[in-house]
Amino acid sequence: MAAKKALSVPRETRRGWIHADPGAVSIVQQCVVAGLARSTYYYEPVPERAENLTLMRLIDELYLQRPFYGVPRMTDWLQRLGHVVNHKRVARLMRVMGLQAVLPGPHTSRRQPAHPTYPYLLRELAVERPNHVWCADITYVPMRRGFLYLVAVLDWYSRYVLAWALSNTLDALFCLEALENALGSGQPEIFNTDQGAQFTSDEFTGRLEGAGVRISMDGRGRALDNIFVERLWRSVKYEEIYLRDDADGAEAWAGLQRYFLFYNTERRHQSLGRRTPAEVHFG
């Protein structure tokens, strides 16, 4: 009944009712009450001043090339390009983007001290078949009028993108959505992520443990522990995101859907013997 009454209120007003506050009613439940599709909320880019969006785009591009740059070196680089910025401003933008200035690489998710972490299980492990190891990570997606976050689940052996999801918040829900979609097509022996709060949450780890999947987590500040998904982000950004400059979440979603289909079924990898991820994954 409440959802039906809400439909008489303009959509933009109803969107203003939604709040992603810790401990509050979940976003999904709030969307139901407000009579909104979940995507209406999650695919709306996070607004930011045009000048800051330019800086964030530059920060994002440099992190792909220099993942060991922290706030001081990033600030110095931006200043050399002629931008009037200080360390405080760069640190704020990196926090908004979800990037931590931790050597030797970026982390798009922050650790939650109350959550348990797990050992890194992939060191010297020979991954020789599909569904042996899956991994997941989050990256920042710059857009013309704001930004979104992208999570992907990748098969370590075949490089096949099993699932992905977009969101305008760094909560665990969109990561769970991608996980559920991936598990709908199979199950790994080991699942590797960083130590971000999304991946150490009880909901995420509980879903994996309930399925009998062993959990592996990168060492803190070791972006290269999840190297294949880091390579995926470079491909996605240079071959799709940076080329398109999408205006809104609907455009970004459609573009990414096309790109991941291309990536899985047409993009051949030298490391896979010039085969596509789909050819390797499905034999």
Residues 54, 38: one domain? no
pLDDT in tens, the chain (283 residues): 444 444 455 544 544 555 545 455 555 556 655 555 555 555 677 888 999 999 999 999 998 888 788 899 999 999 999 999 999 999 999 988 888 654 444 445 555 556 678 999 999 999 999 999 999 999 999 988 889 999 999 999 999 999 999 998 888 989 999 999 999 999 999 999 999 999 999 999 999 999 999 999 986 555 556 789 989 999 999 999 999 888 888 899 999 999 999 999 999 999 999 999 999 999 9
Residues 186, 249: one domain? yes
Q: Residue 148: give its domain's CATH number.
A: 3.30.420.10
Which H or E element spans position 147?
A: strand 146-155
Residues 165, 255: one domain? yes
Which H or E element spans position 141?
A: strand 133-143
Residue 108, in any domain of the structure: no
Residues 165, 223: one domain? yes
Residues 6, 57: one domain? no
Structural domain tally of the chain? 3
pLDDT tens per residue, range 80-99: 999 999 999 999 999 888 88
Report how far Cα 271 is from the mean position of its chain's Cα atoms: 24
Residues 19, 142: one domain? no
221 near 196, Cβ under 8 Å? Answer: no
Residues 27, 55: one domain? no
The pairing of beta strand 214-217 with beta strand 133-143: unpaired
Residues 144, 87: one domain? no
Query: Domain containing 272: what range?
Result: 133-282
Residues 82, 138: one domain? no
Residues 169, 263: one domain? yes
